[in-house]
């Protein structure tokens, strides 16, 4: 993939500025419909989910008090992993987006929420909500593109250092929450600029370290210590470690599926100068990929399986993405755009394939073409029950 502006045949070349404005209006209308309709049932959804998650976490941690017994370890660790995933994905991520602020409940509000994560909510909100969601997939602006450590586009000059990219991507996945914390801190850039002593940086660093200390104390000290009466200190510690790794791998995978699969577009920095609302929408449509699957898949991914819908409407309640998805997809078809969706294994494979491919110089590993880009294959589209494109799809690649 190369930035949309440099592609020989841009997938948006057929759209006039009027088309794009009209597209924006139609998306605004979809958004307004949901805002009009949201109410008591949505509030009941998030409250029930939070209650379920807390009960599951509490129950799992109680079971783990006897984790010396293997069945208890297995059940407790599985439960804790699921609880941590729900807490981060469907609850934390979405609450921090302000998706539930409209309820005016101070206990479920983006300004008061804190999550089970190394990075403090406030830092994450800045780098994620303000930077990533505004500058989605703009090279040099959206640091989520490779988190500043990866080569994610042919445009970036290859360097032997990138050979290690698959390895450190995997390590980043394992310890994702710490990677995110370092990234939210802009640790890399701060080291490069030799600004580690900057008081503002020091203040934020202190905040992150304090958060990490509290998290670690809970998972690796207090909970294991409570398990001592059954002789379960170490098994409980291992259970917490495992649950954190499972959660990290899972959330990293979901996020990779959202922006890294082959066929997701990237954009030139100057292309967003003076960008209209319609153009912003268009960039969000092309800069994200969905995961098709069951209700459980949507729930466990925090509805980031509807990454496209989430990027179009980041502050709509996540439980509504499923219902707006067909309407959004109809607009993709109407305007001859590619709705990028595929099952989880396919998207994940595609994303990792890209990580490996770009770790090598351009052209060493086969580039994805129309014929092998996961989302573009017709069997997926049929599986999703969507109509075929009416317009010929523009050729991709070079």
- Candidates 141-149, 222-230, 266-274, 319-327 — which segment interacts with other proteins by CB under 8 A? 222-230
- Candidates 21-29, 221-229, 258-266, 280-288 — which segment interacts with other proteins by CB under 8 A? 221-229
| Interaction between residue 134 and other proteins (CB under 8 A) | no
CB within 8 A of 61, min separation 6: which ones? 76, 80, 223
| Interaction between residue 36 and other proteins (CB under 8 A) | no
Q: Let me know: does 189 contact 173? Beta carbons within 8 Å.
A: no
- Candidates 2-10, 51-59, 65-73, 295-303 — which segment interacts with other proteins by CB under 8 A? 51-59
Distance (Å, whole) CA 309 – CA 291: 11
Q: How far apart are the first and last CA of the chain?
A: 9
- Among 5, 10, 22, 110, the residue binding other proteins under the rule CB under 8 A is 110
3-class secondary structure, 327? helix
Distance (Å, whole) CA 371 – CA 326: 25
Q: Let me know: does 217 contact 288? Beta carbons within 8 Å.
A: no
Q: In terms of CB distance, is 54 or 327 closer to other proteins?
A: 54
- Among 5, 14, 24, 54, the residue binding other proteins under the rule CB under 8 A is 54
Q: In terms of CB distance, is 56 or 360 closer to other proteins?
A: 56
3-class secondary structure, 240? helix
- Candidates 108-116, 189-197, 292-300, 340-348 — which segment interacts with other proteins by CB under 8 A? 108-116
Element (H, E) at 208: helix 199-217
- Among 16, 36, 40, 70, the residue binding other proteins under the rule CB under 8 A is 40
Q: Let me know: does 90 contact 319? Beta carbons within 8 Å.
A: no
- Distances, alpha carbon 183 to alpha carbons 123, 152, 175, 302, in Å: 10, 16, 12, 21
- Among 217, 270, 363, 398, the residue binding other proteins under the rule CB under 8 A is 217
- Among 17, 114, 198, 209, the residue binding other proteins under the rule CB under 8 A is 114
φ/ψ of 151, rounded to 5, equals: -95, 115
| Interaction between residue 68 and other proteins (CB under 8 A) | no
Which DSSP letter does residue 88 get?
Answer: I
Q: In terms of CB distance, is 65 or 375 closer to other proteins?
A: 65
Element (H, E) at 92: none
| Interaction between residue 223 and other proteins (CB under 8 A) | yes
Q: Let me know: does 367 contact 397? Beta carbons within 8 Å.
A: yes
- Candidates 63-71, 94-102, 178-186, 337-345 — which segment interacts with other proteins by CB under 8 A? 94-102
| Interaction between residue 51 and other proteins (CB under 8 A) | yes
Binding residue count for other proteins, defined by CB under 8 A: 35
| Interaction between residue 98 and other proteins (CB under 8 A) | yes
| Interaction between residue 32 and other proteins (CB under 8 A) | no
Other residues' Cβ atoms within 10 Å of the Cβ of residue 88: 21
Distance (Å, whole) CA 257 – CA 346: 9
Q: In terms of CB distance, is 96 or 282 closer to other proteins?
A: 96
- Among 3, 27, 115, 286, the residue binding other proteins under the rule CB under 8 A is 115
Q: Which residues bind other proteins (CB under 8 A)?
A: 38-44, 51, 54-55, 58, 98, 101-107, 109-112, 114-116, 211, 214-215, 217-218, 221-223, 226
């Amino acid at each position: 993939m190369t930035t949309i502006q440099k592609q020989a045949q841009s997938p948006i070349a057929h759209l006039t500025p009027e088309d794009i404005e009209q597209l924006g209006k139609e998306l605004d209308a979809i958004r307004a419909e949901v805002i009009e309709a949201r109410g008591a049932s949505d509030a009941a959804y998030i409250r029930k989910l939070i209650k379920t998650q807390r009960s599951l976490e509490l129950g799992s941690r109680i079971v783990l008090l006897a984790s010396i017994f293997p069945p208890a370890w297995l059940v407790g660790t599985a439960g804790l992993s699921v609880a941590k995933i729900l807490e981060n994905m469907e609850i934390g991520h979405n609450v921090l987006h302000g998706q539930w602020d409209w309820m005016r409940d101070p206990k479920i509000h983006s300004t008061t929420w804190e999550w089970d994560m190394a990075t403090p909510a406030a830092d994450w909100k800045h780098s994620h909500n303000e930077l990533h969601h505004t500058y989605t997939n703009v090279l040099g602006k959206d640091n989520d593109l490779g988190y500043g450590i990866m080569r994610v586009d042919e445009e970036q000059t290859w360097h032997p250092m990138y050979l290690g990219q698959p390895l450190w991507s995997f390590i980043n996945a394992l310890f994702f929450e710490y990677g995110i914390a370092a990234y939210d801190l802009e640790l890399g850039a701060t080291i490069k600029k030799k600004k580690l002593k900057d008081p503002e940086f020091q203040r934020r660093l202190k905040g992150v370290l304090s958060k990490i200390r509290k998290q670690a104390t809970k998972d690796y000290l207090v909970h294991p210590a409570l398990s001592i009466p059954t002789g379960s200190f170490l098994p409980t510690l291992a259970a917490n470690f495992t649950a954190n790794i499972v959660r990290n791998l899972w959330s990293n995978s979901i996020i990779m599926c959202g922006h890294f699969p082959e066929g997701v577009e990237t954009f030139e920095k100057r292309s967003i100068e003076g960008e209209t609302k319609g153009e912003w929408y268009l960039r969000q449509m092309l800069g994200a990929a969905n995961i098709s699957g069951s209700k459980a898949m949507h729930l466990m991914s925090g509805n980031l399986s509807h990454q496209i819908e989430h990027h179009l409407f980041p502050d709509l309640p996540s439980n509504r993405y499923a219902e707006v998805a067909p309407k959004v997809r109809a607009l993709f078809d109407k305007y001859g755009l590619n709705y990028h969706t595929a099952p989880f294994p396919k998207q994940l494979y595609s994303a990792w394939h890209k990580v490996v491919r770009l770790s090598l110089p351009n052209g060493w590993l086969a580039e994805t073409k129309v014929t092998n880009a996961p989302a573009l294959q017709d069997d997926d589209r049929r599986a999703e029950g969507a109509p075929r494109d009416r317009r010929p799809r523009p050729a991709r690649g070079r």
